[in-house]
Amino acid sequence: MNVYEHQAQYYETDQMGIIHHSNYIRWMESARIWWMKEQGVDYKELERAGIISPVLEVSCQYKTMVHFEDTVLIELKIEKYNGVKLELSYRITDKETGELRSIGSSKHCFLNKDGAPVSLKKAYPEFDRAFSEGINKTIE
């Protein structure tokens, strides 16, 4: 099974010696891009096809702290997908202890370079298939 993991870096810490809260959002974004590639949709391919996928909304609930050199596992799940919009959930746990560190979500859409919505189902069925097959799959 595929696992996305991240080892916390020193530059990600704050004055309290814990990982700064903004980094969790970055980790979720890294997990999303990695997951897309695992599904057969390289973000570069989307861009070459003239598609962008901006973030519409993002949230993160912090449960326990991550420290420098901790390794976290990020589980990603598609919550909703309709060809134009994509909603994901994330669960970040400590690799060593399994302790829950945070949970989050993000919403994205697919647009052409002019900013108009694009239906992957209609215009890019190969991308649509990859996302559709990923529904309810979880990375653990």
- Could you give the residue numbers annotated as active site? 14
CA torsion through residues 23, 26, 30, 35, sign: positive
Give the chain's count of helices (H) and strands (E).
Answer: 4, 7
Residues β-bridged to residue 106: 58, 88
Structure-token match 């945070």, residue found: 102
